[in-house]
Amino acid sequence: MSAPSYLHQQGLLSWFLTLDHKRIAVLYMVTVTFFFFAGGLAATLIRIELVTPQGDLLTADGYNRAFTLHGVIMVWFFLIPSIPSVFGNFLVPIMIGARDMAFPRLNLFSWYLLLGGGLFTLLALLLGGVDTGWTFYTPLSTMFSNGHVVAVICGVFIAGFSSIFTGINIIVTVHTLRAPGMTWMRLPLFIWAIYATSIILVLATPVLAITLLLVAAEHLFNVGVFDPRLGGDPLLFQHLFWFYSHPAVYIMILPAMGVVSELITAAGHKRIFGYRFVAWSSVAIAVIGFLVWGHHMFVAGQSMYASLVFSLLSFLVSIPSAIKAYNWSATLYKSDLTLHAPFLFALTFIGLFIIGGVTGLFLALLAADLHAHDTYFVVAHFHYIMVGAAVAGYFGALHFWWPKITGRLYSQLWGKITAVLVFCGFNLTFFPQFLLGYLGMPRRYHAYDPDFQFLNVLSSAGASILALAYVLPFFYLLGSLRWGERAPMNPWEAAGLEWRVPSPPPLHNFEEPVTVDFEAYDYSPEARRDPV
Amino acid sequence: MSTANALKVYVGLLLLLAVEVLVALFWPRNSSLIMLAAAGQFLLLLIFYLGLYRHQGWVRLFGCLYLLWLLMMMVFILGETATR
Amino acid sequence: MIRSDEKPAEPFVAWAQQREAARLGIWLFLATEAMMFGSLIMVAWLYRLQHPDGVAEAVAGLHWQLATANTFMLLTSSLLMTLALAASEQGNALRLRRCLLGAALLGVLFLACKGVEYGLEYREGLLPGFAEDSPLHLPSAHLFMNLYFIATALHAVHVLVAVGLGLWLYMRLAPDNLSARGTRTRLEMVTLYWHLVDGIWILLFPTLYLVGR
């Protein structure tokens, strides 16, 4: 009988004091799911309010607090930790042939930081909250806001360290703990994506830290860094904030892209087309993504010359993303495609990401952004990427690796129904918002011109379908824990080290040290699928 | 790093400190000289005390890229405010 | 080498691997600290370039002599940490502990001088929130003073952490503790952190005190 699985030991302390990367991943999963629904509740309030043109459900100030809560929770406590901290933690050591992450205690500490920061922020947001939007623009946040700005900032600051430590852990793990024979060019593309994400986590988050610190200092002590009366510059805040927050959106999308590379190859039982291109494109996105932050400030009074440079660079950053999309499509071409539930999510990702990405190019164009900035066009664009693509990526990962993580199979029928509902609900929710933005409806308004009502009603109807789709997995995934069939080692017939250990894996992942002598995505007929 | 070399670097750091303070006191318009001395100190620290001289290849490349990119950030932001 | 039952921590299989990982980890952490302080120094330079007169007024009142002494102390502490590392490589436990203690004491002295400086500034009415009694006239001078406080306070917190780490190592490296392999890696990590704290001050000191007098 082989070694007991990592889930064998019972008791609360075995979870709260665990040093096992797989258990920590599950802790993160529960945590981010909780925050997803908290943020989703705020979204529900927003969409219900927007069914009617008048502000009836919420006051203007209440609406401000609602979308702030939605943004803060979704960005920092769901999207950023979602794939790196859940699937990164679970899969990185197994995929590279290691027994655990490089710094297991730091890993557990990172989780506590996220949990603590998140609960603190949620508490502050619920006890009155903040009306500044998740972007905390000055001088509203520093001088005029009468909300719990400093409290929310503290929570986000703490969670930022969770990001930084997770990033450090992942980078060091990938550098030092690869099994013999696991060269860089044999790594699964998920690892490349998570590695690039970790570079961004490590280098961008500190700038957020100092920015938040300065806002808190200004709010408390009137320091004047962003106050024109003392010679400060409100636009400087935007520079510092977006210097982090634009790379942050790449933190949110890159891991999902890594997931899609895994899903597409497993769906088509075929090697990825252009491995090196896809691998280096992740790095390119990370690098160029650091140079485009000014495209959030085109209408803020920024220097025209700077705007030109940022616009050009924003066009350039789309190229590596496009390379990925082309390579995925080429991989699917003439492949032996089986459309199980996870792969439907992968296809959803590709379609919605392309729409989101292309509309991003519209916004990168200075002349078009002048009209589209601060309208629902922008809202639709980033939701196509962050929800349509990134959340689809998360759900795809959930459905793909669930048998490995839990050792159970779930109902494929319900998984596929969810995927279809997500696709339809999402498009119904957010496509009308492109049209609304084009027609001129501003964002962050709780009351709007009655001419916009029809599209808003469509959007809210779509949101209700989307909400249903997001709730469904609770039933069939959690139900599988009780009633699901036991999962075999490799239910998808996929390549990769994680599919050659039992489901769920044993405590230290591998019975014996692994030696790697195969390329990534080895779907040739002679490829070995036996347990390592 | 041997004791002798550590002391040599230390003397270099102190000399540059003296240069900085003297320039600030007697030729106050020469801020670029002061910052050059500071940059010199930082490089001495980085290369010898922090030990970058010991690393080759990829590490050196990434280190240089990181510093260059930090510089880019400053150039972008300072350049933007200057060209408004 | 004395045979011991000490094994490298999970999941490493060799000491060299663990040391390599610790080194990479601390360098990444240093990179994050550099990002944070780099942004702050950039903000200081931004305002320096935009408001040269206000900055000159603020800088004129700063206690550069104390700060120069502080710089000297920090540079010396960096030397001592380097010597401590050299001593550990040579196996000289006594010199190692002396250098560590010396560096920590210099750090404490740095903080004491900083405290004296803050005390003087408090008495001169320069602290943020005391603007009515302030001797500064230009509003941008206030801004620069406030930036000075934020930057030096944040740096001081890091010096405090460094001193704490140094003292902790001093106690861990007691003369009767022979199998100090893991602790030697920790010494190297603390040394790196110490040098970064010093490096930040090297750039902060002229930015705040010397330029534009």
> How wide is the angle at C-alpha A83 spanned by C-alphas A79 and A89, nearest 5°?
135
Instruction: Give the C-alpha distances (Å, rounded to integers) separating C131 from A374, C19, C124, C128, C151.
Output: 37, 51, 11, 6, 19
Contacts of B73 in chain A (CB under 8 A): 243, 290
A278 has pLDDT over 80: yes
What is the average pLDDT across C103-109? 97
Output phi, psi for B27, to 5 deg: -130, 65
Q: How far is B80 from chain A (nearest CA, A)?
A: 5
Got the DSSP string for A398-433?
HHHHHHHHHSB---HHHHHHHHHHHHHHHHHHHHHH
Encoding tokens for residue A287?
């690098």
- B81: three-class secondary structure by DSSP: helix
State pLDDT tens for residues C116-132: 999 999 888 888 765 55
Residue A298 belongs to a domain: yes
Under 8 Å CB pairs connecting chains B and C tally to: 94
The dotted CATH code for C35-210 is 1.20.120.80
Residue A507 belongs to a domain: no
Got the DSSP string for A295-308?
GG-TTTT--HHHHH
Would the CB atoms of B38 and C49 count as touching at under 8 Å?
no
Distance CA C152, CA C171 (A): 28
Cβ atoms of A129 and A155 closer than 8 Å: no
What is the average pLDDT across C169-191? 78
Lowest mean pLDDT among A65-74, A457-466, C65-74, C174-183: C174-183
Lowest mean pLDDT among A68-77, A523-532, B36-45, C109-118: A523-532
- Residue A237's Cβ-side half-sphere holds a number of Cα atoms within 13 Å equal to 24
Encoding tokens for residue A164?
């930084």
pLDDT along chain B (84 residues), means of 10: 90 94 87 91 90 79 86 90 87
Chains that touch A (3 or more CB pairs under 8 A): B, C
Would the CB atoms of C35 and A203 count as touching at under 8 Å?
yes
Would the CB atoms of C36 and A232 count as touching at under 8 Å?
no
The CATH number for A64's domain is: 1.20.210.10
State pLDDT tens for residues A325-371: 999 999 999 998 999 999 999 999 999 999 999 999 999 999 999 99
State pLDDT tens for residues A456-486: 999 999 999 999 999 999 999 999 999 999 9
Amino acid A336: pLDDT: 87
Parent domain of A58: 19-500
Got the DSSP string for A9-60?
S-SHHHHHT---HHHHHHHHHHHHHHHHHHHHHHHHHHHHHTTSSS--SS-H
Which of A205, A213, A230 minimises the CB distance to C143? Answer: A230
CB atoms within 10 A of CB C136: 20
Provide the residue type at A403 as one letter.
P
Amino acid A214: pLDDT: 95
Which of A202, A210, A223 minimises the CB distance to C128? Answer: A223
- C124: three-class secondary structure by DSSP: coil
What is the average pLDDT across A177-183? 94
Cβ atoms of A398 and A477 closer than 8 Å: yes
State pLDDT tens for residues A91-130: 999 999 999 999 999 999 999 999 999 999 999 988 888 9
A294: which DSSP letter? G
Higher pLDDT, C183 or A356: A356
- Which residues are A5's β-sheet partners? A506
Distance CA A265, CA A495 (A): 8
State pLDDT tens for residues A206-257: 999 999 999 999 998 888 899 998 889 999 999 999 999 999 999 999 999 9
Amino acid C139: pLDDT: 86
What is the average pLDDT across A435-441? 96
Distant-in-sequence, close-in-space partners of C147: CB < 8 Å, separation ≥ 6: A223, A225, C40, C43, C44, C47
Q: Which residue has the tokens 């690039």?
A: A196
C81 has pLDDT over 80: yes
Would the CB atoms of B81 and C50 count as touching at under 8 Å?
yes
Cβ atoms of A152 and A184 closer than 8 Å: no
Domains of chain A: total: 1
Q: How far is A112 from chain C (nearest CA, A)?
A: 19
Nearest to C146 by CA among A240, A140, B35, A227: A227
Is residue A458 within a helix (H) or strand (E), and if so which, with residue range? helix A453-483
In B, residues 5-44, which contact C (CB 8 Å cutoff)?
6-7, 9-10, 13-14, 17, 20-21, 23-25, 28, 31, 34-35, 37-38, 41-42
Contacts of A235 in chain B (CB under 8 A): 81
Chain C residue at shortest CA distance from B50: C192
**CA A114 to chain CA mean position, Å:** 15
Nearest to A368 by CA among A303, A299, A294: A299
* End-to-end C-alpha distance for chain B, whole angstroms: 48
Distance CA C42, CA A321 (A): 31
Nearest to A460 by CA among A7, A33, A20, A53: A53
Got the DSSP string for chain B?
--HHHHHHHHHHHHHHHHHHHHHHHH-TT-HHHHHHHHHHHHHHIIIIIS-GGG--THHHHHHHHHHHHHHHHHHHHHHHHHT-
Provide the residue type at A16 as one letter.
F
Output phi, psi for A271, to 5 deg: -60, 150
A197 has pLDDT over 90: yes
In A, residues 302-341, which contact B (CB 8 Å cutoff)?
302-306, 309
Give A469-496 as a 3 state SS string: HHHHHHHHHHHHHHHCCECCCCCCCCCC
Q: Which residue has the tokens 């959690």?
A: A478
**CB-based burial label for A430 (10 Å; 0-12, 13-18, 19+):** buried
Q: Rg for chain A (alpha carbons), in Å?
A: 23
Q: Is A215 on the interface with C (CB under 8 A)?
A: no
Cβ atoms of A383 and A422 closer than 8 Å: no
Cβ atoms of C55 and C48 closer than 8 Å: yes
Encoding tokens for residue C82?
């380097």
Residue A514 belongs to a domain: no
- Which residues are A486's β-sheet partners? A408
Encoding tokens for residue A331?
């991989």
Q: Is C72 on the interface with B (CB under 8 A)?
A: yes
A512: which DSSP letter? S
Torsion-angle region of residue A6: left (phi > 0), alpha (psi -120 to 50) or beta? Answer: alpha
Which site among A200, A244, A302 would you substitute to test the B interface, given the most B Cβ atoms closer than 10 Å to its Cβ?
A: A302
C179 has pLDDT over 70: no
Amino acid A126: pLDDT: 86
Would the CB atoms of B24 and C210 count as touching at under 8 Å?
yes
Distance CA A427, CA A352 (A): 9
Output phi, psi for A5, to 5 deg: -75, 170
Domain range summary for chain C, segments of one domain joined by +: 35-210
Got the DSSP string for A207-250?
HHHHHHHHHHHHHHH---TT-GGGT--HHHHHHHHHHHHHHHHH
Cβ atoms of C197 and C162 closer than 8 Å: yes
Cβ atoms of A349 and A387 closer than 8 Å: no
Mean of the per-residue pLDDT values of chain A: 95
